[in-house]
Amino acid sequence: MQRYEIAIIGSGPAGYVGAIKAAREGFPTSVIEKGDFGGVCLNKGCIPTKTLVASAKQLRNTRRAADFGIDLKGPVTAIFQKLNDRKESVVDIEKKGLIKLVENSGAEVIKGQASFVNKNVLKVSGAGGEKTIHAQSIIVATGSKPKNLPFLPFDGEKVLSSDELLSLDSLPESMIIIGGGYIGCEFASIFSALGTKITIIEALPRLLMNVDEDIVAVLNREFKKEGIDILTNSQIVGTKVADKVTVTLADGTDISADICLVSVGRRPSTDGLSAENTGLSILPDGAIKVNEQMMTNIPGVFAVGDVIGNPMLAHVASAECKVAVGNALGNHFLMDYTVIPSGIFTYPEIGSVGLTEEQARTAGRDVKTGTVLLRSLGISHASGEIVGMAKLVADAVSDMIIGIHIIGERATDLIHEVAVAMYQGMTASALGYVIHTHPTFSELVSEAARDANGGAIFSRRLYA
Known catalytic residues are 438
| Cα 194 from Cα 173, distance rounded (Å) | 10
Spatial separation of the C-alpha atoms in residues 367 and 362, rounded to whole Å: 11
CA atoms of 317 and 335, how far apart (whole Å): 11
CA distance 305 to 324: 11
Point out which residues pair with 389 in neighbouring strands.
Answer: 373, 407
Q: Is 464 exposed, middle or buried (0-12, 13-18, 19+ CB in 10 A)?
A: exposed
Crossing angle of helices 314-328 and 15-24, rounded to 10°: 30
Scanning 106-205, the segments in alpha helix (DSSP H) are 162-165, 182-194
Q: Are 249 and 236 in contact (CB under 8 A)?
A: yes
Please, are residues 317 and 16 in contact by the beta-carbon 8 Å criterion?
no
SS3 351: strand
Neighbouring C-alpha atoms within 13 Å toward the C-beta of 37: 21
* DSSP 8-state assignment for residue 282: B
Question: How far is the C-alpha of 353 from the C-alpha of 343, rounded, in Å?
Answer: 9
Which residues on adjacent β-strands are paired with residue 205?
none
Strands (E), 112-151: 113-118, 121-126, 129-140, 144-146
Name the E strands within 278-388: 301-303, 341-344, 350-354, 367-373
- Residues 245, 257: contact at Cβ < 8 Å? yes
Helix axes 46-63, 182-194, angle to 10 degrees: 40
My answer on whether omega of the bond before 311 falls inside 30° of 0, hence cis, is: yes
